[in-house]
Amino acid sequence: MIKKISRKLEKIFSESSLYFKIYAAPYHRVVKREIELTKKHGNLKPPLLNIGCGSMPFTTYYLARETDLEVVAVDQDSEMTDLAKKTIKKLGLENKITVINKKASEIDFKEYQAVYTALHLKNKKKVYNQFMETAPQGSRFLVREPRKTFKNHYEELNNNSVDLVKHRLVTFDRTCLYIKD
């Protein structure tokens, strides 16, 4: 139910750059803290990857804005990626952000040093395993994990993370960092 409501709101808000910025505002601090966590364990090198961007790619937006690096945004839903491309164009970031329609489990991570995943990502363990198989050594994988009250709505990776950062959002309370050995 939460995912369906979020999806509808995102489709509506993706029509306006003002609505996008209002909707995205609570995530600015989250993404800044995730960037700091990533940098704590090595330099950031382009391109960064955001998995599960949806039609409102606010994580992608803040990654590009805060790091000044190229960002690739991926979502498996073609309707969402079409809307995301329009949103990115409205924001004037089409030269910095590339939006791709693809299943996360099919990504070859060899060119990504830092991967940021959405809370709603499905098959987190499968995607994590794909990352561990194909990413370069030292690459970082960040996963937003649900609060206890939302564990029945969102998957939890729940491996032994190297580090984490805590958040005060309704649906998730932490981002866990994993590093490819």
Question: What was the pLDDT predicted at 154?
Answer: 93
- Supply the pLDDT for residue 23: 82
Instruction: Label the pairing between strands 140-146 and 172-179.
Output: antiparallel
pLDDT (0 to 100) of residue 158: 80
Query: Would you say 60 and 98 are in contact if contact means Cβ atoms under 8 Å apart?
Result: no
pTM (two decimals): 0.92
What pLDDT score was predicted for residue 17?
78
Closest alpha carbon to 128 in 179, 162, 166: 179
* Overall domain count for the chain: 1
Answer whether 59's CB lies under 8 Å from 28's CB: no
The predicted structure's pLDDT at residue 13:
66
Domain boundaries, position 133: 2-179
Task: Identify the pLDDT of residue 8.
Answer: 73
Mean pLDDT per 10-residue section of the chain, whose length is 181 residues: 69 74 91 98 97 94 97 95 93 96 95 96 95 97 96 89 96 96 90
Q: What is the CATH number of the domain that holds 62?
A: 3.40.50.150
